[in-house]
Amino acid sequence: MDQHYVHGYDGVESLRLHDQASTLEDLLHGDTAYPGGSTILEAGCGVGAQTVALARRNPGVKITCVDVSARSLMTAEAHVAAAGLPRPDFRQADLHALPFSEASFDHVFVCFVLEHLARPARALAELRRVVKPNGTITVIEGDHGSTFFHPDDSDARAVIRCQVDLQRAAGGDALIGRRLFPLLAQSGFDAVRVSPRLVYVDASRPNLAEGFVRKTFTAMIAGIRSPATAANLIDGATFDSGIRALLRTSEADGVFCYTFFKAVGRKA
Domain boundaries, the chain: 11-149+171-199+258-266
Q: Where are the beta strands (DSSP E) in 86-161?
A: 89-92, 105-111, 131-142, 148-150
Distance, in Å, from the CA atom of 185 to the CA atom of 179, rounded to the nearest integer, reads 10
Q: What confidence tens digit (pLDDT) does each residue in 42-81 have?
A: 999 999 989 999 999 999 999 999 999 999 999 999 999 9
Q: What confidence tens digit (pLDDT) does each residue in 223-256 have?
A: 999 999 999 999 999 999 999 999 999 999 999 9
Q: Is 154 exposed, middle or buried (0-12, 13-18, 19+ CB in 10 A)?
A: exposed
- Global pTM reads 0.91
Judge whether 211 and 23 are in contact, CB under 8 Å. yes
- The pLDDT of residue 15: 62
Q: Which helix (H) or strand (E) holds 195?
A: strand 190-201
Second-level CATH architecture of 11-149+171-199+258-266: 3-Layer(aba) Sandwich (3.40)
The number of CA neighbours under 13 Å toward the Cβ of 183 is 28
List, for the chain, all residue ranges whose pLDDT scores fall below the cut of 70.
1-21
